[in-house]
Amino acid sequence: MIIACISDNIEELIKLVKKSSEIADQIGAEIHTILFKYYYKEDEIEILKSSLNTDRIILLSNILLMKYDSEAFSLALMDYYKKYKPDLFVFNSSLASKEMAVKLSSKLNIPAMLDVKELKILDKKLIVKRDFAGGVYEATYETDIPFILTLLDSETSYISKLDRKREFEEMVVNTNVSRVLIRQTKKLNPRINELKNAKVIISVGEALKDKNDLKYIFEIANFLKAEVSCTRFLSTRKKWFDEWIGVSGIRVSPKLYVGIGISGEPFHIAGILKSEKILAIVTDPESNIVNYADYIAICDLYKILPVLAKKVKKKYEKFLTES
């Protein structure tokens, strides 16, 4: 059995190979790591060749693989498939990788599943767990191999005791680019790692009417050493932040999550469920976030925020003076 690991970025690929080895060790499978020449830098490829505990690194080579293109990358993977017929393709769950995985699924007629949380292989059957209905539910699926999946979170503390073969092969592949032309690219600065590692997060929702109101939030966050972010609506429609919290954005797991003026759409809620404590400060008692909070303050946001900011500031200044 062969598990093929593919990612659109190097950090995720390293984690993916480690996570796949957890499964591969149990069932005696080989791990193949697929790299795209020109897309990965030469020094990155050298690092991966020397550090990845994998059976085979296959470098797919074609000048069209220089820039990410789902058509080009999935076609390139076809040549690899024809030669090795892997049983399982494991991708990371970035938007680019998901697109690549689905294209590959279509071309190979092998079913795919995205954003897989857990997987097990039992007697050639694949048992897969994923979020359902915004992540408020969890669904378990059963399917056969071959299969294609994107893995949501490949963090693992597992260390394989097997020393894998680490063979290297460069494979010149046929490919073609899509007929979609990119006119312009604007870089964003989503604070993914900051939010994923934050102990306290204050997140704001659509009940906050004006971006200037964020001044209170930042004052409070400053005292708590908290990260500030928002719901998808405020990020994508109002452009207050470059990222948002939720299953379609960043999933977080702080000690304390403070949701201010958040209605609690299921996709947002599912992204905060791993928080140790959730404090909801809301105007509307019917807000869905209330059903998932540890502490609930139902109040007028525009009355509480100035008072709270003032109190926090006072306490902070007192603390600074004393220390």
Partner 1 sequence: MRIAVFIKPVQTSYFDNLRNKEKYEFFMNYPDKCALVEAIKLVRYYGGEVNVFSIANEKAIDVLKEALALGANSAVLISDPIFEDLDTLSKAKVAIAAIRKSKAYDVIMFGDVSVDSMNGQMGIIVADKLGLPHISNVVRLWNEDSKIVCEKRVEDKILICEARVPVVVVVTIDLNPFELYNIAYEEIEKVNKPILKWDAKFLGIKPEELSKKIKISSINKIEQQRERKIIYFNDYNELSEKILEIFEKSAK
Nearest approach in angstroms of CB 168 to partner 1 is: 30
Phi, psi of 126, rounded to the nearest 5 degrees: -105, 125
Q: If binding is defined by CB under 8 A, does position 185 make contact with partner 1?
A: yes
Phi, psi of 287, rounded to the nearest 5 degrees: -55, 140
Contact stretch for partner 1 (CB under 8 A) within 15-23, 30-38, 167-175, 283-291: 283-291
Size of the site for partner 1 (CB under 8 A): 86
Among 113, 160, 283, 313, binds partner 1 (CB under 8 A): 113
Among 136, 171, 213, 313, binds partner 1 (CB under 8 A): 136
Q: What is the CA radius of gyration of the chain?
A: 23
The Cα 113–Cα 126 span in angstroms is 11
Q: If binding is defined by CB under 8 A, does position 18 make contact with partner 1?
A: no
The Cα 65–Cα 44 span in angstroms is 16
Show the tokens assigned to 219. 């004052």
Nearest approach in angstroms of CB 310 to partner 1 is: 8
Among 311, 317, 318, 319, binds partner 1 (CB under 8 A): 311
Among 2, 10, 84, 134, binds partner 1 (CB under 8 A): 134
Nearest approach in angstroms of CB 163 to partner 1 is: 35
Query: How big is the CA angle at 268 (ends 264 and 271), to the nearest 5 degrees?
Result: 135
Q: If binding is defined by CB under 8 A, does position 181 make contact with partner 1?
A: yes
Among 158, 218, 295, 319, binds partner 1 (CB under 8 A): 295
Contact stretch for partner 1 (CB under 8 A) within 45-53, 160-168, 207-215, 307-315: 307-315
The Cα 150–Cα 293 span in angstroms is 30
Residues 39-68 contacting partner 1, CB under 8 A: none
Among 109, 157, 212, 321, binds partner 1 (CB under 8 A): 109
Q: If binding is defined by CB under 8 A, does position 127 make contact with partner 1?
A: yes
**29: amino acid identity, one letter:** A
Query: Among 284, 44, 5, which residue's Cα sits nearest to residue 151?
Result: 5
Nearest approach in angstroms of CB 133 to partner 1 is: 4
Based on CB atoms, which residue is closest to partner 1, 54 or 105? 105
Residue 244, number of CB atoms within 10 A of its CB: 23
Tokens 């892997």 appear where?
Answer: 86
Show the tokens assigned to 234. 């405020």
Based on CB atoms, which residue is closest to partner 1, 245 or 258? 258
220 within 8 A of 209, measured Cβ to Cβ: no
Residues 242-281 contacting partner 1, CB under 8 A: 247-248, 255-256, 258, 266-267, 273, 276-279, 281
Which residues 6+ apart lie within 8 Å of 39 measured at CB?
A: 65, 66, 67, 68
52 within 8 A of 166, measured Cβ to Cβ: yes
Nearest approach in angstroms of CB 237 to partner 1 is: 6
Residues 198-237 contacting partner 1, CB under 8 A: 199-200, 224, 226, 232, 236-237
Among 63, 180, 322, 323, binds partner 1 (CB under 8 A): 180
Residue 181, number of CB atoms within 10 A of its CB: 6
